[in-house]
Structure 1
Amino acid sequence: MATIKDVAKAARVSIATVSRVINNTDKVGEVNRSRVINAMNQLNYTPNANARALVKQKSSTIGVVVPDITDPFFASLANGVEEVARASKMQLLLSTGKQSEASELEAINLLIERRCEAIVAYSKLIPDDKLCLLSKKFPSLILIDRYIADIADRCIWLDNIEGGRIAARHLLSLNHQKLAVINSNYKIDDPLLRLTGFKQVVEKQNLTLPKNLVVSYEPTLKGGELAAQDLLEQKLSFTAVFAYNDAMAIGAISVFEDNGYKVPSDISIIGFDDVLLSQYSRPKLTTLHYPINKMATNAAKLAITYNAENIQQGFDFKNTPHLIKRDSTALKR
């Protein structure tokens, strides 16, 4: 079996130069780089995935960027990409981009440096213009839950405004007129878009949504608890709540119940996402199904097959959530 010393000897360069080529640094001239790559090919020298990627110019790896691997929602996203990777005999490389522009950029650039063949990224904080530049640098970068008009053929996105409308229609159909909203305080589009759709339907019925009854916290179980406490402290009457996600809804239910309110007989609540936990909460949670697994598989397939000269057909670029009726909402009597 060939060694790095054999490659260096065949290429007539130092071992350090071979190492730099394998790690794709900028300190190697094109002549020496070509010698090393030719020697690696001739000797069938592939010490690791990076070397194979260098020779073949791709690594048979698909990358995925999520902000939090512990969140069930993002676990479903990663699982959808992994299903496609496995079926395509590719490896999955996961990178986390925490809640900042810098960390998202770092996560995407890491996958590019690792020579991923395709990348699916959940990116909310990188500005549109920077993502457009990244898409030119890496043609197989597909965005999920993000719509940018200039690269619309690389965006698999959810109609969050319609999601808010669906939630409002459901609560109004149950005769609720005194409504509250528990929203996310993250500085991303989703909370604003869902609230916008919700307000559109409410205001069309000549109803008002008091500012004090729209509260924003971290989109977690704890955030839902804090939001519910905030609403109760307002001393304003409400009979139904639209929560940004299922975690916040379930956290809020625990506070309402602890304070003597029964869900749904006293307060109805509807969530968003339809994560697995929503089926096992008590009461079982009425929610909006977010087809994240389907969106992730479509995004992965698009990333693998993307061709800018021939826009892909058959992909659901725009996706719409749908209502899942369970036990946390009921007719107001």
Structure 2
Amino acid sequence: MVTIRDVAKLANISVATVSRVLNAHPSISDKTRQAVLAAVEELGYYPNANAQALATQSSDTIGVVVTDVTDSFFAILVKAVDQVASAHQRNILIGIGYHNPEKEKQAIDLLLKKRCNALVVHSKALSDEILNEYLQRHPGMVIINRTIPGFEQRCIALDNEKGTYLATNTLINHGHKYIGYIGSNHQINDEIERKSGYLKALSDHDLPIMPHAIANSSPDYQGGEETMIKLLSYNSNLTAVVCYNDSMAAGALSILNENNIKVPQQFSLIGFDDMPLANYLVPKLTTIRYPIDLMATYAAELALSLVNKALASPENVTFNPTLVKRFSVKAI
């Protein structure tokens, strides 16, 4: 781990001078400041936020990295972290990754440079190896919606496969045999696991995987429309679909309505996540609840307890997907 002494050695100045530069002391010359900043950049050094917190008796910011703040899933995540932060008289800073490894790394690095010693990170694009390095260097970092080997106690994740297995099994128990799957086109574990749960349920019930019964697109309303059109174009006997998330389910529902296919009388639909949207569709959407609010609350409390030993660590919890029954599924 790079230390302030390494920076001082490379810049050929004292540790005390490096400290004054990093704290924007007005007595530092431009030449010295540039030398220190160049050394910091070359070494990839971040000021030790834990040490600073001890020195100032204050650590007032939690960093949050999400994929896209326009998605209600991440809005709920951020709100939950903010509520925990407020309860501890702290604020939050948000970084956005957009499913892009470089942007995710930039977001994490920026929050670290802003001296966030407690972080809740939702990262899907960065490799396990890179996240492993971050977790080793920054003890207050917690990963949500993913598990990094060796850091299971600082990772909060849901069994996505179990969720879509439950959804598919529900449709099978309602008499459906010709079931499609609408998935995300993002190459992330969530998509791999959710499709796996769908396929496993079909296999366990000895149901065939129909040709062209799986379609992928962007995990949003438009993607749901696009994939539902594909499934209807290829399959005349399809009676039900499991969707990657509620937004895609909403898009699929729109296409079914446009084609005068009544839900649930003629076609059944199950979403995933249980976003507020699901309760306002017509019919209200049966879906798999992803307890992201509870998971984010736990993640924020855990991150704070890791950087402040005066706070008790939250009791270890296992989060499970559950079926939320509404009105988009009917037996045939």
Q: Give the TM-score normalised by structure 2.
A: 0.83
- What does residue 326 of structure 1 align with? 326
Shift of 1:37: 8.8
Structure 2 distance, partners of 1:220, 1:242, is 14
1:296 paired with 2:286, answer no
1:125 paired with 2:110, answer no
Structure 2 distance, partners of 1:71, 1:194, is 19
How many pairs align? 296
- What does residue 82 of structure 2 align with? 82
Contact 1:58 1:116 in 2 (8 A): no
Shift of 1:232: 1.2
Structure 2 distance, partners of 1:194, 1:38, is 47
Contact 1:58 1:117 in 2 (8 A): no
Contact 2:244 2:271 in 1 (8 A): yes
Shift of 1:312: 4.9
Structure 2: 5+ residue stretches without partners: 1-7, 26-46
Structure 2 distance, partners of 1:253, 1:323, is 19
Contact 2:182 2:248 in 1 (8 A): yes
- What does residue 279 of structure 1 align with? 279
Shift of 1:36: 7.3
Task: Give matches, 1:176-325, under 5 Å.
Answer: 176-306=176-306, 312=313, 314-316=315-317, 318-325=318-325
1:30-85 per-position Cα deviation (integer Å, ceiling 9, x unaligned) = 13245679997xxxxxxxxx9x9686386410010001111101000001100100
For 1:299, give the aligned amino acid.
A
Shift of 1:149: 2.1
Residues 205 and 39 (structure 1), Cα distance of their counterparts in 2 relative to 1, 3 Å cut: closer
1:32 paired with 2:17, answer yes
Structure 2 distance, partners of 1:233, 1:37, is 61
Task: Indicate the SS of the match to 2:89.
Answer: coil
For 2:115, give the aligned amino acid.
R
Shift of 1:128: 0.5
Structure 1 distance, partners of 2:175, 2:255, is 24
Contact 1:246 1:274 in 2 (8 A): yes
Structure 2 distance, partners of 1:30, 1:293, is 43
Residues 161 and 33 (structure 1), Cα distance of their counterparts in 2 relative to 1, 3 Å cut: same
For 1:315, give the aligned amino acid.
N
Q: Give the TM-score normalised by structure 1.
A: 0.83
Contact 1:289 1:321 in 2 (8 A): yes
Structure 2 distance, partners of 1:252, 1:120, is 32
Cα RMSD over matched residues?
A: 2.6
Residues 58 and 108 (structure 1), Cα distance of their counterparts in 2 relative to 1, 3 Å cut: farther
- What does residue 68 of structure 1 align with? 68
Contact 2:213 2:235 in 1 (8 A): no
For 2:72, give the aligned amino acid.
P
- What does residue 108 of structure 1 align with? 108
Structure 1 distance, partners of 2:289, 2:92, is 26
Structure 2 distance, partners of 1:179, 1:143, is 34
Structure 1 distance, partners of 2:22, 2:185, is 50
Structure 1: 5+ residue stretches without partners: 1-23, 41-49
Task: Indicate the SS of the match to 2:315.
Answer: coil
Shift of 1:308: 12
Contact 1:60 1:117 in 2 (8 A): no
For 1:31, give the aligned amino acid.
A
Task: Indicate the SS of the match to 1:206.
Answer: coil
For 2:278, give the aligned amino acid.
S
Shift of 1:313: 5.9
Residues 35 and 248 (structure 1), Cα distance of their counterparts in 2 relative to 1, 3 Å cut: closer
Shift of 1:237: 1.3
1:64-120 per-position Cα deviation (integer Å, ceiling 9, x unaligned) = 000111110100000110010000101111111111111111111111110012000
Structure 1 distance, partners of 2:138, 2:190, is 26
1:222-277 per-position Cα deviation (integer Å, ceiling 9, x unaligned) = 00000111111114411010000000001000101101100111110000000001
Moved >3 Å (runs of 4+): 26-29, 33-40, 52-55
Contact 1:58 1:115 in 2 (8 A): no
Structure 1 distance, partners of 2:319, 2:153, is 14
Structure 2 distance, partners of 1:57, 1:110, is 22
Residues 183 and 155 (structure 1), Cα distance of their counterparts in 2 relative to 1, 3 Å cut: same
Task: Indicate the SS of the match to 1:212.
Answer: coil
